[in-house]
Amino acid sequence: MTDTKQPPETRVVLPVDPTRRTEIDKQRVPMSARPYRLLALVKQDAVVRIQKEPDDTVMTWPHLLSIEFLAAGMMSIFLLLMGLFINAPLEELANGNVTPAVAKAPWYFLGLQELLAYFHPTVAGVLTPLLVLVGAALIPFVDRGNLTATRPSERKTAVILFTLFCALGLTLTFVGIFFRGPGYSFVIPYLPFFENSSPGLHFSL
């Protein structure tokens, strides 16, 4: 009796019917046809990468908050002095039978009211505010020197135009508050040696 070895069983993979191939079957590529690449091993510098901070930054405290605290203190002292030395008396009780005097506009509209003393209402009340708004919107298109600049010293054109606008508005408001009296006439407050001086500010015209 001879001992004959049975050949090992081999697994036969039948080809897939092309009409029944799935996406997985389409991605199956023989080992001999797969391209391989050797990748270099790059060593990482650190587990946590720390980015370098900008050199021109400062801490909020004490650099920023100390300046803001100083500005708030100076403004509080200024308002206290205004309340002590400027006479702003209350008027009498309202009487429906008596028409009150025409009051001044609020301080944020006194600049426009001051313009009405020099120009036609159409110019002072319509054209001037429209030109201011349109001009403020056009400032970024006029100042095209350095579009990526973030410092005021690098945007001189825009800063100069906006400063002129603020200076003009504050001057008109300042004149309307302090130097306009009854009938919207020009007066000089707190200087009795002038002929048109007044003892205080006027809130009605």
pLDDT digits (tens, 9 = 90+) for 75-129: 999 999 988 887 776 777 888 888 877 778 888 888 888 998 889 989 888 898 8
Per-residue pLDDT band at 5 (split at 50, 70, 90): low
Say if CB 80 and CB 152 are below 8 A apart: no
| Percentage, residues of the chain above pLDDT 90 | 11
**pLDDT at site 170:** 92
H-run or E-run covering 197? strand 197-198
pLDDT of residue 178: 87
- Which of the four pLDDT bands, split at 50, 70 and 90, describes residue 203? confident
pLDDT on residue 167:
92
Cα(94)–Cα(100) distance, integer angstroms: 8
> Model confidence over 43-72: pLDDT tens digits?
655 555 556 555 667 777 888 889 999 999
Which one is predicted more confidently, 5 or 138?
138
What pLDDT is recorded for position 19? 64
Instruction: Assess whether pLDDT exceeds 70 at residue 15.
Output: no
pLDDT band at 74 (very low <50, low <70, confident <90, very high): very high
Cβ-contact 198, 187 below 8 angstroms: yes
Check residue 69 and give its pLDDT: 93
The predicted pLDDT at position 94 comes to 80
In angstroms, the CA 68 to CA 64 distance is 6
Looking at residue 88, the DSSP 8-state letter turns out to be: -
Higher per-residue pLDDT: 75 or 141: 75
Average pLDDT, the chain: 77
For residue 107, CA distances in Å to 87, 100, 104, 133 come to 16, 19, 8, 19
Q: Name the residue with higher pLDDT: 51 or 156.
A: 156
